[in-house]
Amino acid sequence: MKLDNMFKKSQNLSLNEGEKEQKSEVPEGLLRKCNLCKKVILTEEVENGYYICPKCGGYYHVPAMERIRMITDEDSFEEWDREMRPVNPMRYKGYLEKLKLQQEKTGLKEAVVTGKAKIDGEEVVLGVCDGRFLMASMGENVGEKVARAVERATKDRLPVVIFTASGGARMQEGIVSLMQMAKTSAALKRHSEAGLLYISVLTDPTTGGVTASFAMLGDIILAEPGALIGFAGPRVIEQTIRQKLPKGFQRSEFLLEHGFLDGIVERKAQKETLSRIIKFHKKQEMTENIQKKSPAEQTDKEKGIEKTDGGTEEKRKKRIEAWERVQKSRKSDRPSGSDYIRALFTDFTELHGDRYYGDDAAIVGGIARFHGMPVTVIAQEKGSNTKENILHNFGMPKPEGYRKALRLMKQAEKFGRPVICFVDTPGAFCGIEAEERGQGEAIARNIYEMSALGVPVLSVVVGEGGSGGALALATSDEVWILENAIYSVLSPEGFSSILWKDSSKAKEAAKVMKMTAENLYKQQIVEQVFEEPEELTKENLAVVTDKMDAAMLEFMKTYGALSKEELREHRYRRFRRM
């Protein structure tokens, strides 16, 4: 049955006739239209909710003072250099008037606000660009304010956090605006040389001279989701090359994939993320900060972990063949790099990218805490199912993976953090693109730099230690290995194929190659062997990591007490004798 126009409609009267008629209307500003999804939304929801569209989740530009409110502790912000004398180096017609107009419109004096504030109790020097002010273009005063803020931070030994946004150089100021790139970069270089932290957070849009200076110089570079980040603007590129640009080009996600960002952080998580990173970098003595363990763990430790070859008497009796160990080391349900990170560390914060070409998922790295002490952790990761295997390229790193690892190690050296590497790779990735980008160079560079890193470096072979691909993360003060892990110059298949022209003789090769933990310990290639349960899985991993934890604590105490020079000398001697 259709009901269209079937019902008689009401004959209307009204209640309280004679009373003044009320007129309903939406007050100015109560509703607005999202300029991203075009839906009508409540203005209040946008302002309370981090300037995010409640419908489509899109990010709006945030005025500088609002950004400061979102990120810092209440009433902790102290503005610096608010009043700057306006400059007009080219005597550009109408420029000063335009500046005045912008000042009235935005309530700001310039396109960047700088000062000191607290984030979760930690003092930082803060710079926040405001895109409403002449597209946050960088003229003399913007550059000057950034440079002064950085200089004060260097002097007071405080970390710097800058939220960037910019259309580029301020054309009205001509060549002087170009020089601001050099001025700000030079100030940041001094800040870095003083061993201090700089975090840049890139927001939409960060382009031109700001990208090509202080935006891209962070020790850690974060970005908001979906932000446009680039040197040349997309329109300019399109006009120049006469091609349509792909979707997502120059967006944060694109930059992350191409290795230029450490991470993309949603607005709601930014304060917490910044606070965590800043706390990792608080100045402290390496070993002093190791927290006391809980009593239960202490007794474990008191039981003592003696340096051992891992084979108990009984085990030696029922010898496991080398080939069997090779197979165990490759088992798909064997815990991989990130499982060890989870088991041994807290607060792991993954950092991405090599800053040149890409972010290689075969190597996972970042900062974490080991008994409260900040450490840099780098692990080769295979993944634990087919989908993950493909994502992590079966644990075979490409040059960008090694370059990311090296970048994180150099960062660790700058901030005095020990480095712990977990090795689990069949070998460095073998392919055309790996050679194009210099696989050999990348491995060589890692070995070269690691040999002289001024902080303690520990490597643990937890699965396969495949040749140069493994050594690039194992030029360390000590190398440890799990009972059923292997470490060799080549896979047994490759070995038999090269020497015996028959890859099916891998089983024999495994024996000849002396690649098991026991052999390696005897040859003094590794310092410690960790016993494994019958079948090592993620579930019983604690059997291994509990002992490893105690041993690492000892390692930190021993090597943490050494000077940079002593560490370098020790590492040099370690490899020199081989």
Partner 1 sequence: MIKKILIANRGEIAVRIIRACREMGIATVAVYSEADREALHAKLADEAICIGEAPASESYLSMERIISAAVVSGADAVHPGFGFLSENSRFADLCRQCGITFIGPAAEVIEKLGNKQEARRTMTEAGVPVVPGTEEALEDWQEAFGAAEKTGYPMMIKAALGGGGKGMREVYDPADFEEAFRTAQKEALGAFGDGRMYLERLIKNPRHIEFQILADNYGNVVHLGERDCSIQRNHQKLIEEAPSMVLTDKLREKMGEAAVKAAKAAGYVNAGTIEFLLDKENHFYFMEMNTRIQVEHPVTEWVTGVDLVKAQIKIAAGEKLEFTQKDIRIQGHAIECRINAENPEKGFMPSPGTIQDMYLPGGKGIRIDTAVYSGYTIPVWYDSMIAKLIVWGKGRKEAIRKMQSALGEVIIEGVDTNVDYQYEILHNQDYLDGNIDVEFIRRISAQ
Rule CB under 8 A: which residues touch partner 1? 1-4, 6-7, 9-17, 19-27, 30-31, 40-42
Question: Which residue bears the tokens 């040149």?
Answer: 356
Task: Name which of 13 and 578 has its Cβ closer to partner 1.
Answer: 13
List Cα–Cα distances, 106 to 86, 117, 405, in angstroms.
Answer: 16, 22, 43
- Beta strands in 391-536, from DSSP E residues, in sequence order: 419-425, 457-466, 478-482, 486-488, 528-530
Task: Name which of 29 and 304 has its Cβ closer to partner 1.
Answer: 29
Q: 164 with 215: CB under 8 angstroms?
A: yes
Residue 553 φ/ψ, nearest 5 degrees: -60, -45
Q: Rounded to the nearest whole angstrom, what is the least distance from the CB of residue 60 to partner 1 in the complex?
A: 17
Q: Rounded to the nearest whole angstrom, what is the least distance from the CB of residue 540 to partner 1 in the complex?
A: 25
Q: Nearest Cα to 464, choosing from 481, 443, 487, 495? A: 487
Q: Give the alpha-carbon dihedral of 381, 387, 393, 394, to 10 degrees.
A: 60
> What's the Rg (C-alpha) of the chain?
29
Q: Rounded to the nearest whole angstrom, what is the least distance from the CB of residue 42 to partner 1 in the complex?
A: 6
Q: Rounded to the nearest whole angstrom, what is the least distance from the CB of residue 253 to partner 1 in the complex?
A: 26
Task: Name which of 18 and 295 has its Cβ closer to partner 1.
Answer: 18
Task: Name which of 54 and 494 has its Cβ closer to partner 1.
Answer: 54
Q: Rounded to the nearest whole angstrom, what is the least distance from the CB of residue 294 to partner 1 in the complex?
A: 17
Beta bridge partners of 316: none
Question: Which residue bears the tokens 């660009």?
Answer: 129
Give the integer Cα–Cα distance in Å for 290 and 449: 27
Length of the chain: 578
Q: Rounded to the nearest whole angstrom, what is the least distance from the CB of residue 11 to partner 1 in the complex?
A: 6
DSSP structure string for 159-222? -EEEEEEESSB-GGGTHHHHHHHHHHHHHHHHHHHTT--EEEEEEEEE-HHHHTTGGGG-SEEE
Give the integer Cα–Cα distance in Å for 89 and 174: 8
> Pairing state of beta strands 363-370 and 373-380?
antiparallel
Q: Rounded to the nearest whole angstrom, what is the least distance from the CB of residue 56 to partner 1 in the complex?
A: 12
Beta bridge partners of 125: 116, 160
Q: Tell me 395's DSSP state.
A: G
Q: Rounded to the nearest whole angstrom, what is the least distance from the CB of residue 371 to partner 1 in the complex?
A: 24
Task: Name which of 45 and 193 has its Cβ closer to partner 1.
Answer: 45
Give the integer Cα–Cα distance in Å for 208 and 169: 7
Task: Name which of 40 and 101 has its Cβ closer to partner 1.
Answer: 40
Task: Name which of 27 and 304 has its Cβ closer to partner 1.
Answer: 27
Task: Name which of 26 and 241 has its Cβ closer to partner 1.
Answer: 26
Angle CA 282–351–294, to nearest 5: 55
Task: Name which of 32 and 570 has its Cβ closer to partner 1.
Answer: 32
Give the integer Cα–Cα distance in Å for 459 and 462: 9
Question: Which residue bears the tokens 């199912």?
Answer: 385
Residues 6 or more apart in contact with residue 417 via CB below 8 angstroms: 286, 367, 374, 375, 376, 411, 455
Task: Name which of 56 and 499 has its Cβ closer to partner 1.
Answer: 56
Q: Tell me 514's DSSP state.
A: T
Task: Name which of 7 and 288 has its Cβ closer to partner 1.
Answer: 7
Task: Name which of 20 and 292 has its Cβ closer to partner 1.
Answer: 20
List Cα–Cα distances, 74 to 69, 90, 118, 120, in angstroms.
Answer: 7, 41, 8, 10
